[in-house]
Amino acid sequence: MTKTEKVNDILAILEKFYPKVETPLHHKDAYTLLVSVLLSAQCTDERVNKITPLLFKRADNPYDMVKLSVEEIREIIKPCGLSPMKSKGIFGLSKILVEKYNGQVPQTFEELEELPAVGHKTASVVMTQWFGKPAFPVDTHIHRLAYRWGLSTGKSVEKTEEDLKRLIPEKKWNKVHLQIIYFGRQYCPARGHQWRECPVCQKYMRKELRD
C-alpha cells in the first residue's frame, strides 16, 4: 500500500465515523473564538465551554474586556489553568484590538501571531474555523495521533503540521483537523488506549508502539 492509499483510507475512516463535525469551542464571533482557543491551552474544551459564558457575560468584546482588570479576568478563568498568563494575554490582545484594529480580529497569520498569548496553533484555529482560510491547526493531541498512525515523524509539532499539509488535500484541512480531534477522543486516547479496538490503529499503528 502506498502512502497516498494509506492516507486516503484513514480519511475514509474518519469520514465514516465523523461525517459532520463542529467547532468544539462555543463562540459567536472571531473574538469569542480567539479567547476560547487561548483558554483551551492545557485545558479541556468541556471546561472552557463552562467558563466562557461567565467571562462573556461580563465582556464578550474587546471594548468591554479592557474595562475589566487583569485580576478580574484571572478570577473568572482560574478553572482553565495558567490563569496568570491567560488573563494578561486576554487583556493585552483586547487592548491592541481596540487601539489598532477598531475592535476587530485581524485576518492574517502575521497580525494574529503578534497578539499577546496567541501562537501559531491559536491563529490557525481562528483563521480556518472562523475566516475559512486554509490552515491545519496541530496541537499536542493531533501531533501524537499523527505519529501513532505513521503520518509524521513526530519530531516536532511544526514538522507534523508540514507533513499533514503535504499528505492531505488543502480543501479538507479544516474538516480533517476536527475529525481527528473527535476521533482521537473516542477511539484513540492518550491514556488507556487499546489499539486493537481503534479502527485506525488496528491497521496503521506503528509497530514499535504496539504491545
- Chain centroid to CA 183: 14
User: Is 86 one of the annotated active-site residues of the chain?
Assistant: no
Q: How far is CA 98 from CA 53, 105, 176, in A?
A: 22, 10, 34
**Is 121 an active-site residue?**
yes
Neighbours of 102 (CB within 10 A): 8
The residue annotated as part of the active site, out of 6, 20, 29, 139, is 139
b vs e for 172-192, b when ≥16 Cβ sit within 10 Å of the residue's Cβ? ebbbbbbbbbebbeebbeeee
DSSP 84: H
Element housing 90 (H / E): helix 83-101
- Of 4, 40, 15, nearest to 183 (Cα)? 15
How many Cβ atoms from other residues are within 10 Å of residue 89's Cβ?
Answer: 22
Mapped to the 3 state alphabet, what secondary structure does 134-165 carry? CCCCCCHHHHHHHHHCCCCCCCCHHHHHHHHH
Residues annotated catalytic, as ranges:
121, 139
